[in-house]
Structure 1
Amino acid sequence: MGIIYDPVDRILEPQTVMQFVGFLFGNPLPDGTRPSSIATLPVEELALIQGGDPVLGADNKTIMHRIMGYIGSNEDTSRLCGVGKNIQSLKSRLWSGITPLSDQRWKEKGLHLPENFDQACQNLGAVVSVFEYLNVPEVQNNLRETFNLIYDAWSDLEAVINQHRAGTGAEPVVIADLWTLFMSVHLEVMTQRAHKWVTHHVDTLRAPYMQDLLTYEPSDQVTGEPDAKQWQLGDALHLLLETSIRADHTIMIPMEGYKGYKATKKESGPPEMHSAQHSERGAAYSQRVKDLSHKIPIDRLLEAFAKGEKRRDLTFSESLHGGATEQIDAQRQIRRELRGSSLDSTFQEPWMMSKLKRLKLLEENDLPKDSGLAIYRLTHGQPESEWLEFVKRLEDHISDWGAGQDGSDSIKPYLKLHWLDGKELGLAENDIEAAKQHFNETLDGSECHNTPPLALNSKAILAIDSASFASYMSNSYDAKRSSVLPGDSTGFVLAIDPEFDPEIGFDRPEESPDYRGQMRILGSLVWGDLYAILESQSGGLGDLWPLAMHHPDQVYVGPVIPIQRLNWQAQKEGQWNVVSEAMGYLGKSLK
């Protein structure tokens, strides 16, 4: 994978800790379940976690302060890792169970088309690369050590709570081992969602190539060797096979050495195939697939012979197709040996489950359930009919999301835009700072007198400025550039961080250079991407900006792969060359 920037990666994402605290106080596990045997802590014990009183800390720090320090801070940088922004941002996304690219975005970008096969494979490979990073021995050790330090902190909390409970005669509680349970389920959801996404797209991409391999009839097949077309089909199928093999033995995070974890014995396949070491596991898995792919045709031949079936002469195309099928069958069998029943698991995106739970609580208390984002109109010169046409195009685009994201249908009815007309509010055209001020003073916060009848996310607002209006209504912004996929050049809106102070800037400026508290984003990514990231607390606009800054129009289009950046750079260089030539010509004409 190519490098964009080298941010510092806190391997264990910070929001995981608060999600675990929510589990202690009654929320379900990341897979949506909650064993009835697990007690819920009373609210008054929450103060022992995040209150001002230190808990068994010689350093006089609260439990939460100690834990967040272990994850990574200026006080403890020993387990932080440097990694490319494309890997780090995708890792944060996968950690939160957010789909890398929805089925809708996949087709919108044209990744199902043969001409974009290489880009499709890079998107699959990017997900595998995240887990290759997480399986690097040093990174493995850092994640395990971070987990174990946090386990010890929860053990300290457990001791304090049980000491208090002993004085009242209450039953003791278990906390540290629940951290192990929570993280084991979290990692299971994370890895299985990522693995299923990769293998699903491998199967979808592979189907037409397999069909072509079977039905293709070369004009001259006398040499017994594949022709150019058959080589092309074979190369594509081999790349997909290698990608899925890498996914099988890489997309996992072994928990050997994690405190409180008890590994279950693996019954299938050689022990080396279940090694916690990625290199050993990968070598054993690949060899097992190779051995079985050689054994399958022999077994089938012997089976046919035992049944008295005569062997039919195969065409060369049928023979090639049969060989490819045997490799695929071998891999699927070994995949089952390695990954077991988890292959059958289906998990909803965790942020959706959490959001639906909160909506249910609102419903039980007869409170409005709608949620969403504030969106400001900051362009005023259009006739009303043209503006209404724009709003229709925009809302159709924004609402068109969720294909391939389990559970999206259940959450979509509650996600809505709250429109505010800047002209009516006295905001100048394209005045971003005025929109931020209005939001912060009148809409953000439950105590404000003008709070709308829906729960607005406070980490981002949307705005329609002249550029975003033109992206939907003008021919000056279109997808006719060969270097940008059509799905990466659709209409956009402006996303704004209402808390961003230009005087202070971003807290990690070296990771998000030139970030100004705002970012263009494709309309179709508002809910399933941006809102999902904000709700899961896996990032903010400043974290996404490095993925948008290299786009020719500086638009966030989702996860970025190296070939995209190369194409975007070529587009920018081409634009600059045209400008340079024009300026040179103008300079000569003025002499």
Structure 2
Amino acid sequence: MTFWSYSLRSLARRPHIVRIPLRAPVLKPVRPTCSFQSRKYSSAPSDSKKPPGRTQRDENLRNLDIDEIEKRMKYLSGDHATWDHEKLKKLSYVEDLLPATIYEGFGDYAISGHRPGGGRPSFPLLTQEEFVYLDTPYNQWAPAPYNDLTYSCNDKLMPLFGTDENNELKMSSFSRFSARLRPLKAKMWIGTVPLTQERWLAKKMDDPENYHMLFELIRDILTVFAYLNYHQTLDHTRYCFNWLVDKFVEFEGAANLLREQKGIQEKLNLSGMWAEYYHDVVSTMSNRTHKWIVDRVEEVQDRAFADYNAALQKAGDDQEAIAKAGKKYYECVQDLNSAVTKVDYVLGVPMTGFKGYGSSESALDLPLQVRREAYMNMYGTKSSTHQKKILQAQDEEAKSEPPLDRISITFEERTKLLQHAGPRFRDKEAFIGHFHEGRKNRAETRLALRGKPSPLGEEHWITILKERMEFYLANGRDRKTHRWGFVWYRLTYKQTDEEWANFLAKFEAHVFKSGRWIDGWDTITDMAGLTFVDGRDFGIAEGDIGAAKEHFKSRFPMLPTLGRMWTNDFLVIDDQSYDSHMHAKSEDPSEGPLPLPFRGSYGDNGPHVRLVDTVEYPQEMLDELYPGYNGELKVLSSLVLEELYPLLATYAIRPAGLWPLARLHPQEVFVGHTVNVQEAWWEWNRIEKTSMMTAFWEHLRKKKTAMDR
């Protein structure tokens, strides 16, 4: 069901609720209906003149419900003993080869005429009446010979999207894919950039010292596109695509007969429309991601080159310092060169053989292996004098260096060899020439293979959001108060008015970001907001998420869609979320150098909110696809509008799909896509924390058991 189906229904009006950023007035504190206080857990002195001694402490331990406290600790910080990095890497999920969210978005193209790549469709549009017919049995609207068909067009398409009823498919319409890469892949499908500028800077990925984070991100993006280009994936996707076109041809035949009867000369061409729409989707996904990567690689390389030149000035005639600077520079630039080279020929999805898609001269419609060979052949004709000189020096040096895979080598020796800067890194002329030579060669080869890049319009979800908001405003919504965003509940009540006001200022600063690098973001920021609900006003006990969920379901029954408050899920500020804003943790990933091969990361300890999922999932589904998920997770506040809203409101992913990535985080917070080196460092800390906490709980239980004897 799409927006245009919803638009035919009456729109229920919502009660007036205070919204941010139209600053919510500070409410007078309301005394909680109940509070839990226990002197035995208090740090205040007891009524006795003497402080509690061993006997009192023993009595406290005897009365402790250790199981309940451990359960509460795991709720707040995560159950790190039951999840690890290897489980995350092995976890997979089943996905439709033609994503349902892409099919649902077809309605916005076919009726309103918004192409995902910008511009208008090349074909006559569907009327709203015809769009409704897609979901209506033929015998209720179509002329002969279609008036005997008891099914609708959408009925025939259901096997593509997860139902086995009347399955006529001869090839599978779904495939398994890495759960770890699912959020990243979902973002690319809806045409958003991998990271915004503020997230990029928060993670300090602009610093060449942290280039490994960009390198790993590119590698994950390449994995997604390699999967889409894999011959079996392409074969099955092509089959499903063409099968869908056949059902559209049947529908357009009936619709065009009806048009004839009504005296309408324009003919529908749904197969052409679907091919144009789908090509726009995959092209926008490829081109926006490609541009973002090339821009970011050049940004980091430019800074690395500037740092190298500054280091040379500082080094003077110090050959060891020159070599050290050369090694640091070359490793960064060359690693990113190797990654962006693959990006140039991998990022694209060929549509040769897809019905309705005409002949193409684009190299991106060639098989991946052919594109790779073409790229390498073209690049091989370029002058690489400086690169060859560096490689020759590397070969000469390798003859005198001990192999790193020598069995007898110690960890310390291996570390020294990896950090050693040999004589070849002193060739300043070669490294400076290598930078300019490589940049020029890749730009020329990229242009020859991919062609001149087309201008990118605003992200498609933003175009649709604006159109839908205008629809709501034209149908009774107040322009001054109607917003898109989330409903959020206050479920922590200990704060004074002043403390809460300070929190609100910090909260807004993290949620309402600039959205730089999101094309079109500046056209919707003034319409963004959060609908505030104070749990005290409705008798919801502090921290009672279950009660908040019941209230949310009854208070916000509107169908969830883009362009308004999202009503499938809501946000909660509880004690932990409040503290994360008021007592921010350090973003320094470590106190000192990390042991190889681990790498710390920045931007992962920021303030967070709790996201509550109102959908009920079968337990067997949770166990297989989302182990450990209990219907809620924590999300960085800075991701709420820029990343979380478009992912959920386009149905690209559900909160459960974000959970596997969040679960490995030390506090089980979703921080966006994470890369292998980042996850490995979390795993290192997880092992240490799990070992310590397991021993702690075991010690308490043994001591309590001994006391009870």
Q: Which amino acid aligns with 2:107?
A: V
Higher relative contact order by CA 8 Å / sep ≥ 6: 1 or 2? 2
Structure 1 residue 116 corresponds to structure 2 residue 225: no
Q: Relative to 1, partners in 2 of residues 1:584 and 1:360: Cα closer, same or farther, differing over 3 Å? A: closer
1:361 Cα shift?
Answer: 3.1
Structure 1 residue 202 corresponds to structure 2 residue 297: yes
1:509 Cα shift?
Answer: 4.1
Distance 1:8 1:170 in 2: 43
* Structure 1 segment 176-187 matched on structure 2, within 5 A: 176-187=271-282
Structure 1 residue 44 corresponds to structure 2 residue 129: yes
Q: Which one of 462, 465, 468 corresponds to residue 358 of structure 1?
A: 468
Contact 1:13 1:92 in 2 (8 A): no
Contact 2:622 2:629 in 1 (8 A): no
List per-residue Cα deviations over 1:524-567 (Å, max 9, x = no partner).
00001110112222111112111211111111111122222222
* Structure 1 segment 278-289 matched on structure 2, within 5 A: 278-289=368-379
List per-residue Cα deviations over 1:394-449 (Å, max 9, x = no partner).
111111241211111111111101111101210011111111111111223289xx
1:213 Cα shift?
Answer: 4.1
Contact 2:123 2:268 in 1 (8 A): no
Match of 1:324 in 2: 435
Identity across the alignment (%):
24
Contact 1:8 1:81 in 2 (8 A): yes
1:259 Cα shift?
Answer: 0.8
Match of 1:420 in 2: 533
Distance 1:415 1:98 in 2: 18
Q: Relative to 1, partners in 2 of residues 1:262 and 1:39: Cα closer, same or farther, differing over 3 Å? A: closer
SS of the equivalent of 2:337 reads: helix
* Structure 1 segment 14-413 matched on structure 2, within 5 A: 14-35=100-121, 38-53=123-138, 61-74=151-164, 75=167, 78-171=172-265, 172-214=267-309, 216-217=311-312, 227-265=323-361, 276-294=366-384, 316-341=427-452, 343-365=453-475, 367-368=477-478, 369-413=482-526
Q: Which amino acid aligns with 2:515?
A: G
Distance 2:364 2:289 in 1: 19
SS of the equivalent of 2:634 reads: strand
Match of 2:549 in 1: 436
List per-residue Cα deviations over 1:107-145 (Å, max 9, x = no partner).
111222233221221112222221111111111112211
Q: Which amino acid aligns with 2:502?
A: E
SS of the equivalent of 1:423 reads: helix
Q: Which amino acid aligns with 1:347?
A: G
Q: Relative to 1, partners in 2 of residues 1:589 and 1:366: Cα closer, same or farther, differing over 3 Å? A: closer
Distance 1:532 1:440 in 2: 21
SS of the equivalent of 1:462 reads: strand
Distance 1:484 1:438 in 2: 41
Match of 1:470 in 2: 579
SS of the equivalent of 1:253 reads: coil
Match of 2:61 in 1: none
1:43 Cα shift?
Answer: 2.1
Match of 2:5 in 1: none
List per-residue Cα deviations over 1:274-294 (Å, max 9, x = no partner).
662212211220232132134
| Structure 2 segments unaligned to the other structure (5+ residues) | 1-85, 389-425, 591-598
Q: Which amino acid aligns with 1:412?
A: T
- RMSD, aligned CA: 3.0
Contact 1:402 1:409 in 2 (8 A): yes
Q: Which one of 459, 462, 470 corresponds to residue 568 of structure 2?
A: 459
SS of the equivalent of 1:424 reads: helix
Match of 1:6 in 2: 92
Match of 2:48 in 1: none
| Range with bigger deviation, 184-193 or 38-47 | 38-47
Q: Relative to 1, partners in 2 of residues 1:222 and 1:117: Cα closer, same or farther, differing over 3 Å? A: closer
Distance 1:588 1:336 in 2: 69
Q: Which amino acid aligns with 1:198?
A: I
SS of the equivalent of 1:538 reads: coil
Contact 2:610 2:633 in 1 (8 A): yes
1:57 Cα shift?
Answer: 11
List per-residue Cα deviations over 1:4-58 (Å, max 9, x = no partner).
51111222211111211232222311123214x6333222222321124478699
Distance 2:559 2:338 in 1: 52
* Structure 1 segment 437-516 matched on structure 2, within 5 A: 437-445=550-558, 455-474=564-583, 477-479=585-587, 482=590, 485-498=601-614, 500-501=615-616, 504-505=618-619, 507=621, 509-516=623-630
Equivalent residues, number: 557
Match of 1:269 in 2: none
List per-residue Cα deviations over 1:351-372 (Å, max 9, x = no partner).
1111111223344456324222
Match of 2:41 in 1: none
Match of 1:545 in 2: 659
| Structure 1 segments unaligned to the other structure (5+ residues) | 267-272, 299-314, 448-453
Distance 1:529 1:130 in 2: 19
Q: TM-score, normalised by structure 1?
A: 0.87
1:214 Cα shift?
Answer: 4.4
Q: Relative to 1, partners in 2 of residues 1:587 and 1:116: Cα closer, same or farther, differing over 3 Å? A: same
Q: Relative to 1, partners in 2 of residues 1:323 and 1:115: Cα closer, same or farther, differing over 3 Å? A: closer
| Range with bigger deviation, 438-447 or 275-284 | 438-447
Q: TM-score, normalised by structure 2?
A: 0.73
Q: Which amino acid aligns with 2:239?
A: E
1:215 Cα shift?
Answer: 5.2
Distance 1:520 1:433 in 2: 16
Q: Which amino acid aligns with 2:470?
A: K
| Range with bigger deviation, 50-59 or 38-47 | 50-59
Distance 1:576 1:252 in 2: 43
Contact 1:378 1:422 in 2 (8 A): yes
Q: Relative to 1, partners in 2 of residues 1:214 and 1:387: Cα closer, same or farther, differing over 3 Å? A: closer
1:583 Cα shift?
Answer: 5.5
SS of the equivalent of 1:112 reads: coil
Match of 1:270 in 2: none
Contact 1:506 1:515 in 2 (8 A): no
Match of 2:38 in 1: none
Distance 1:155 1:319 in 2: 61
SS of the equivalent of 1:458 reads: strand
1:480 Cα shift?
Answer: 5.2
Q: Relative to 1, partners in 2 of residues 1:392 and 1:190: Cα closer, same or farther, differing over 3 Å? A: same
SS of the equivalent of 1:553 reads: coil
1:478 Cα shift?
Answer: 4.5
Contact 2:609 2:635 in 1 (8 A): yes
Contact 1:545 1:556 in 2 (8 A): yes
SS of the equivalent of 1:579 reads: helix
| Range with bigger deviation, 275-284 or 546-555 | 275-284
Q: Relative to 1, partners in 2 of residues 1:444 and 1:210: Cα closer, same or farther, differing over 3 Å? A: same
Distance 1:349 1:230 in 2: 40
Contact 1:202 1:240 in 2 (8 A): yes
Distance 1:463 1:583 in 2: 30
Distance 2:577 2:387 in 1: 58
Q: Which amino acid aligns with 2:156?
A: R
Contact 1:506 1:542 in 2 (8 A): no
